[in-house]
Amino acid sequence: MNNPPTGINLGNIGNLSQPSGIMPVKADGNWHFFITNYNTHAITRLDFGPSLSNTPQSAQFNNLSGLTYPFDLSIIRDCGKHFGFLLSRYGNAVRLDFPAGLDSEPVVTGLGNIGSLSGAHGISDVYREGDTIYMYIANSANSTISRIYYPTCNAPTLFTSTERYPPKFAYKFEGNFNIQLVMDKGLPTEKAFCRNVVVFPEPHTNLGRDTAFCEGHQVTLHPGSGFAKYEWHNGSSDSTFVADTTGIAWVEVTDKYKCTKRDSVNITTFPKTLFLGNDTTLTRGESFTLNAGVNYQSYSWSSGESTQEITKNKEGEYAVSVVDMHNCPQSDAIIIRYKTFVPNFLTPNGDGFNDTWEIPLLINYPQAEIKIFDRYGKLITRRKGSDSMWDGTYNGKLLPKDSYWYFIDLKDGSEIIKGFITITW
């Protein structure tokens, strides 16, 4: 100390922003400096390693809960762990815990304004007197000094045992707890050991009540955000889960303290019940009734009706959309086709059998149009449904043996019926 000092400016290491307090700590042979940043509400840690002459590495802790305008801090080792006491410029104090060591992110616990702090401007080192810990704080706003102390615990507050192997104990709420082991109590060989335990709050996740949704739809489960890890029943690690099948869905979340919590939900679906039947072919001229079924709130047919059932006599596709009692939309469709018997041969030989070509069902379609062509595309005859009988002649003369094509248009919007007829005898 008799030599003149030498100074070196190390520069801005670790994104310092109006540094207001500094606390050096040596742990496990390595130096760590903790610095409060007034402007950014953050703590910077400089790690020098085993020598203070080393160039430090830095780490910064932002967004620590309750940490606003930090002004100074002090750190002490107790019960095998390091603890910090930090002041904000406006009177609030917080506690820092380092459950994973000084090179890990601290856990912040707000203590409020203790000791009538007013413009806290500086904090002393930590001092012991017996088992009581003392700190002193200068208040610039009213020119006073506050004394902060942690008194000795007089008796266990949660659990005690005199057994060599005590039973397991589960903490029911979060907080900082000390475990003390006293050996050979009252004897000259008495020894005491202490360990601090930080109990973190249990993660809160809730998938909600058991749920049901419409068949063919899906539901998204949200266990909550901000967890370090998600594990779903199907192995997914996404923060949400899209369920489209029935069964039990569960998620296990892990927070930044590696605490886990699991929740589950039973998922069911409202099944589709609408069924109009299989596609059907009917005899031409028949009417048919389609019934969508009961227990639906509303009906909407493609043909315009809004009733439970409809009766039709025209072939085609009929679709219906309904809404069931669970507000689930459903739809179905059916195709109705008519079959028409058309003879495919004619024997105009005067024996009384198949001397004429007749289609009995055309009596129901008097406006139908029938056209017959020879193999070269020549129109042989054109007839109406009300007069569909043909005797195999063209201009009064019997046509030669051959195959002739027919086209029948029922004039009801249905497809053209076509085929061939063979004249023979």
Q: Which CATH class is domain 19-150?
A: mainly beta
pLDDT, position 183: 83
Distances (CA, A) of 174 to 104, 198, 226: 20, 7, 19
Is the predicted pLDDT of residue 82 greater than 90, yes or no? no
Contact (Cβ atoms closer than 8 angstroms) between residue 152 and residue 120: no
Of 123, 124, 117, the C-alpha closest to 139 is 117
Residues 6+ apart with CB under 8 A from 358: 343, 388, 389
3-state DSSP assignment of residue 102: coil
- Bridge partners of 335, per DSSP, are 317
Is the predicted pLDDT of residue 142 greater than 80, yes or no? yes
Mean of pLDDT values over 102-121: 86
Report the C-alpha gap between 386 and 365 in whole angstroms: 7
- Domain extent listing, the chain: 19-150, 211-270, 280-338, 340-423
Is the predicted pLDDT of residue 383 greater than 90, yes or no? yes
DSSP 27: E
Mean of pLDDT over the chain: 89
Is the predicted pLDDT of residue 79 greater than 90, yes or no? no
**Predicted confidence band at 355 (pLDDT cuts at 50, 70, 90)?**
very high
pLDDT, position 186: 63
**Predicted confidence band at 190 (pLDDT cuts at 50, 70, 90)?**
low
pLDDT, position 421: 95
**Range with the poorest average pLDDT among 113-122, 224-233, 249-258:** 113-122
| pTM reported for the whole predicted model | 0.48
Which of the given ranges, 143-147, 155-159, 280-284, has the highest pLDDT on average? 143-147
Tens-place pLDDT, residues 384-418:
988 889 999 999 999 999 999 999 998 877 788 99
Mean of pLDDT values over 190-211: 86
pLDDT, position 392: 94
Mean of pLDDT values over 39-48: 93
Q: Which CATH number is associated with domain 340-423?
A: 2.60.40
**Predicted confidence band at 37 (pLDDT cuts at 50, 70, 90)?**
very high
Mean of pLDDT values over 204-210: 94
Domain 211-270, CATH homologous superfamily name and number: Immunoglobulins (2.60.40.10)
Mean of pLDDT values over 250-260: 94
pLDDT, position 140: 87
Tens-place pLDDT, residues 52-64:
999 999 999 887 7
**Predicted confidence band at 155 (pLDDT cuts at 50, 70, 90)?**
low
**Predicted confidence band at 157 (pLDDT cuts at 50, 70, 90)?**
low
- DSSP secondary structure, 320-384, as one string: EEEEETTS-EEEEEEEEEEE-----EE--SSSSSS-SB--GGGGG-TT-EEEEE-TT--EEEEEE
Of 170, 177, 262, the C-alpha closest to 223 is 262
3-state DSSP assignment of residue 424: coil
